[in-house]
Amino acid sequence: MKLYNTLTKRKEEFVPLEEGKVKMYVCGPTVYNLIHIGNARPMIVFDTVRRYFEYKGYEVNFVSNFTDVDDKIIKKAIEEGVSASEISQRYIKECKKDMEAMNVKPATKHPLATEEICGMVGMIGNLIEKGYAYEKNGTVYFRTRSFKEYGKLSHKNLDDLRSGGRALLVTGEDEKEDPLDFVLWKPKKEGEPAWESPWSDGRPGWHIECSVMSKKYLGDQIDIHAGGEDLVFPHHENEIAQSEAANGKEFAKYWMHNAFLNIDNHKMSKSLGNFRTVREIGEQYDLQVLRFFMLSAHYRSPLNFSADLMEASKNGLDRILTAVANLKHLLGVSVKEKMTEEEKTAFAKTEDFVKAYEASMEDDFNTADAIASIFDLVKYANTTATAESSKEYLQGLYDLIVKLSDVLGLIVEKEEEMLAEDIEALIAERQEARKAKDFKRADEIRDELLGKGIILEDTREGVKWKRA
Ligand SMILES: [Zn+2]
């Protein structure tokens, strides 16, 4: 399996640190708002990478953090007059809902920065002890020049950075030894959440979070560290400096980065007013369509979001859904059980589609070509499966399309629609529960129906229902 490594700027054969295992860390969002579709791209891309490793039999330890202490969270908390943790808890919950709707698997562990402060204080102390960091008036800085390999990921040269260095100075940071130095710990300002440390009551810088959480849950060395390409510099460069200086070992073997997402050929930005949240897209489309759209381009190519491309994705996904529904229908009418010799030969040909699919995925996760192989398989199923086919042949095709789609996280089995009489029966049970003041059960039934796309409305004529 080959993947492109930002560190070496070339595609490399994947060799795990430990046989059969993958240790993977993906930088997660800062939770101060609903996630936007730019946040969704790395979630979908690296979830697909994980799923493919699992399909190949690897055991994947997948860690992705939530940054739950940050200037933006504090600003939002002040605006709303609530605590910072109320803001972050709210948006972690909302983010998890969006992830589920996009069929992004929960990480093995989703650490929260605020629960790992102790480890951060420990690593900062270690860096000071080794001479890689220093304290000035309660703030701790990383001494960038002391880490000789600084710039190796972003392929930047320290002297070039230095010449533009004056611009890097932020007010209040003029006490730094060198403009290239970055913050590891900063003292609190009035009204901000803070933790105790040997240097000041304050909070950690953003970069140290990931170094510490990755070390705690995956160890000093990991296989893959991933995120959006906007994180290469300075975030990932700084993570490498901190981790390798503290641990004395190479941090991550492979660095993977997804490219930008534009909207109607413009960069997504608050000032352009073209910010699109995943929630908004979910009101227009099933989020499986968004997932299909994201995977229809290579992850290292810039992707342009537009209504036309979303329509095309919807049609593409529908082709697979229709083929799967058709196979299911044929399975219902087929009378023959076992494959004939002729069918066995026909089924053996599907191996070619699987091989092509795997070859695409193993060429730096070319999901666009992998989808093309699923289309080839769908076309083959559409032309060879009939009501005369055996159940075994139909089931074989059905299972294969579902399996290859599932590796991409695409759910292609339509859920059976609930029958009207079953809905009515549940509504009657809910009315009984309400009469008996068993509101817990009544709510459970409403949620169960909602989960199946049935919306209840209490009207004067009684309870009415409709499909969402
Ligand atoms: Zn990070």
Model confidence over 205-218: pLDDT tens digits?
Answer: 999 999 999 999 99
> DSSP class of residue 389?
S
Question: Using an 8 Å Cβ cutoff, are 232 and 204 in contact?
Answer: no
Model confidence over 184-240: pLDDT tens digits?
Answer: 999 999 889 999 999 999 999 999 999 999 999 999 999 999 999 999 999 999 999
> DSSP class of residue 195?
B
Closest CA to 349 of 309, 379, 389, 370: 379
Q: Looking at the predicted structure, is the pLDDT value of residue 137 above 90?
A: yes
Distance (Å, whole) CA 223 – CA 13: 12
SS3 state at 380: helix
Q: In angstroms, what is the span from residue 135 Cα to ligand 1's centroid?
A: 23
The set of long-range contacts for 280-288, using a CB threshold of 8 Å and a minimum separation of 24, is 281/37, 281/310, 282/98, 282/101, 284/310, 285/310, 285/314, 287/98, 287/101, 287/102, 287/103, 288/102, 288/103, 288/317, 288/410, 288/411
Least confident of 76-90, 160-174, 359-373: 160-174
The set of long-range contacts for 176-180, using a CB threshold of 8 Å and a minimum separation of 24, is 176/136, 176/141, 177/134, 177/141, 177/143, 178/143, 178/144, 178/145, 180/144, 180/145, 180/150
Q: Looking at the predicted structure, is the pLDDT value of residue 74 above 60?
A: yes
Dihedral of CA 274/278/280/285: which sign? positive
Tokens matching residue 109 = 């562990």
Tokens matching residue 175 = 């006490």
Q: Which pLDDT value is given to residue 158?
A: 83
Distance (Å, whole) CA 349 – CA 159: 58
Q: Looking at the predicted structure, is the pLDDT value of residue 414 above 80?
A: no
Question: Using an 8 Å Cβ cutoff, are 203 and 193 in contact?
Answer: yes
Q: In angstroms, what is the span from residue 58 Cα to ligand 1's centroid?
A: 24
Residue 88: burial class (beta carbons within 10 Å; 0-12, 13-18, 19+):
buried
Distance (Å, whole) CA 335 – CA 260: 51
| Three state DSSP letters for 279-312 | HHHHHHCCHHHHHHHHHCCCCCCCEEECHHHHHH
- In the structure, what pLDDT confidence band is assigned to residue 454 with cuts at 50, 70 and 90? confident
Helices (H), 19-70: 37-55
Distances (CA, A) of 109 to 28, 61, 106: 12, 8, 8
Tokens matching residue 100 = 């589920």
Model confidence over 97-113: pLDDT tens digits?
Answer: 999 999 999 999 999 99
Model confidence over 142-176: pLDDT tens digits?
Answer: 999 999 999 999 999 888 777 655 555 555 567 89
Tokens matching residue 356 = 């092509």
Least confident of 121-125, 357-361, 410-414: 410-414
Q: What average pLDDT does this structure show over 39-56?
A: 98
Angle separating helix axes 206-218 and 117-129, nearest 10 degrees: 100
Helices (H), 334-407: 341-348, 350-361, 367-384, 391-407
The larger pLDDT score, comparing residue 463 to residue 124, is at 124
Model pTM score: 0.88
Q: In angstroms, what is the span from residue 367 Cα to ligand 1's centroid?
A: 25
Q: In angstroms, what is the span from residue 64 Cα to ligand 1's centroid?
A: 9
Distance (Å, whole) CA 422 – CA 433: 17
Q: Which pLDDT value is given to residue 163?
A: 66
Closest CA to 405 of 453, 363, 353: 353
CA atoms within 13 A on the CB side of 197: 27
Q: Which pLDDT value is given to residue 170?
A: 54
Q: In angstroms, what is the span from residue 29 Cα to ligand 1's centroid?
A: 9
Q: In angstroms, what is the span from residue 300 Cα to ligand 1's centroid?
A: 19
Q: Looking at the predicted structure, is the pLDDT value of residue 362 above 90?
A: yes
Q: In angstroms, what is the span from residue 149 Cα to ligand 1's centroid?
A: 19
Q: Looking at the predicted structure, is the pLDDT value of residue 438 above 90?
A: yes
Percent of the chain, pLDDT > 70? 97
Tokens matching residue 218 = 């995956």
- In the structure, what pLDDT confidence band is assigned to residue 273 with cuts at 50, 70 and 90? confident
Q: What average pLDDT does this structure show over 396-410?
A: 98
Q: In angstroms, what is the span from residue 66 Cα to ligand 1's centroid?
A: 9
Distance (Å, whole) CA 225 – CA 251: 9
- In the structure, what pLDDT confidence band is assigned to residue 413 with cuts at 50, 70 and 90? confident
Tokens matching residue 106 = 């929960």
Q: In angstroms, what is the span from residue 216 Cα to ligand 1's centroid?
A: 14
Residue matched to tokens 């948006």: 91
Q: Which pLDDT value is given to residue 368?
A: 98
Q: Which pLDDT value is given to residue 195?
A: 97
Distance (Å, whole) CA 296 – CA 315: 12
Distance (Å, whole) CA 371 – CA 361: 10
Tell me the CA end-to-end span of the chain in Å, nearest whole number.
42
Mean pLDDT of the chain: 94
Q: In angstroms, what is the span from residue 28 Cα to ligand 1's centroid?
A: 7
Q: What average pLDDT does this structure show over 246-255?
A: 98
Question: Using an 8 Å Cβ cutoff, are 124 and 184 in contact?
Answer: yes
Closest CA to 134 of 179, 181, 173: 181
Q: Which pLDDT value is given to residue 274?
A: 84
Q: In angstroms, what is the span from residue 47 Cα to ligand 1's centroid?
A: 16
Q: In angstroms, what is the span from residue 212 Cα to ligand 1's centroid?
A: 10
